[in-house]
Chain A
Amino acid sequence: MDLVNLGIKSIFVDNMIFAYFLGMCSYLAVSKKVSTAIGLGAAVVFVLTIIVPANWMVQQYILKESALTWLSPQFEGMNLEFLQFIMFIAIIAAMVQLVEMIVEKVSPALYGTLGIFLPLIAVNCAILGSALFMVQRDYTLAEAAVFGTSSGIGWMLAIVALAAIREKLKYSNVPSGLKGLGLTMIITGLMGLAFKSFIGIAL
């Protein structure tokens, strides 16, 4: 039950975009068409599902203080946490490369639409952010897996909704300075306000 609650909380209340502003770059850049947004969203969910538990294991068995004792008792008290950023980003970059190869093989059409943005998932802050939050909040492995998947789903939900709104707004007449980024920011703010209504939701 706790896991279900954690999932709901990470999708709606602690939404990656509306609560933590993570992954804004691709969120703003790839939200012009719903179909592309769904593709990128699915890729992010997939990557997050793998990355967060993978980084959990790295943190637990390599980086944490005295974590390497499973190798030999002489590593007692060794703390490799200063290597955290480099380890995490290396794992993320490798994993994204893998996803890119899989997508290219399985669905060339999707690969064509995602184009440049697929490798950019590696520098999507939502991915690294989830990994760092997972460490900060001391999740267990099961919690980490649920957290990764559901924050991915939350991110996908946000980008698909924004893309749908932007498709409608394409032909409206807005002040030239607000066109594009400015208007998107305001829409995101209003969507965030709507998402605020989920606060306190629990099973």
Chain B
Amino acid sequence: MYSTDLRTDQEKKSADPQVLDDAKLWDTFQSRIDNGDVIEAKDDMPEKYRQTLIRQISQHAHSEIVGQLPEGNWVTRAPTLKRKLILLAKIQDEAGHGLYLYSAAETLGRSRDDMVADLLSGKAKYSTIFNYPTPTWADIGTIGWLVDGAAVTNQIPLCRCSYGPYARAMVRVCKEESFHQRQGYEIVTVLAQGTLAQKALAQDSLNRFWWPSLMMFGPSDSASTHSSQNMKWKIKRHSNDELRQRFVDATVPQAEFLGLSIPDADMRWNEERGSYDHGEINWDEFWAVIKDGGICGKDRIRARRAAAKDGQWVRAAAHAYAQKQETKERVA
């Protein structure tokens, strides 16, 4: 998910904090967590807790910001004025989510400028889902339905994360995500109930985004070695597979309702578990997209760099204006 640790083992190792916290701090901290205490910005915390959260929250923020790009592609091509207005509102929300999250990460002691610099240099990761292209209008519907749907599944438990500023930001984000998911499903519904060509467009888009959406929840529990400490610290409340299953169980009936088929031959209802069984996820593809950026990775970073460069004069002008006002006030 937006918050899954996407670094390679090598990157994780080299990023491990040099300062070793003393064992007593870990113990008292853990007992606060076990008591259900919420940790606030200035509280004592293990360095590893702080670093984990900075990495996770900033990566989440980058995902929201980069997530605007596949959708921005369709603002000028939206089929109606209504859809264009909805899309603009959604993209504005994504920018807002990014800003809430950067602020939450800043409370842990890293500046937004530094975090953004990491994104632009390619050092920071963001969700792999945004490196897939959006060649058709149906993709805008599918992204809202599946990608934002997966995000909601992941983010609702984050509202109860042990770190207060992150949890509060997630409450705000979740309120807005539900609009995103519904507008997406509505786009897909209109297509699925339209002409045969429109329905085919919706099916094709589902075929392309289904598996990448499942991958958003991160590696399978059996392969994910880093989540137990995060569970213990209540940064994370449920395992990757648990959340993925929740998403599958919610989404399959939604696809059936529209007469669309999930592109997974092994997908079937498991009466005993009361859940859907799904086929194997192609993790090689997941890691390959992280490593080489997939189809759109280079474009995404290029777009963010261009935005930073092209906006520089605006920031410079705002700075000059602020300075001028300040001088005027001082003189008066």
Q: Do A and B come from one complex?
A: no
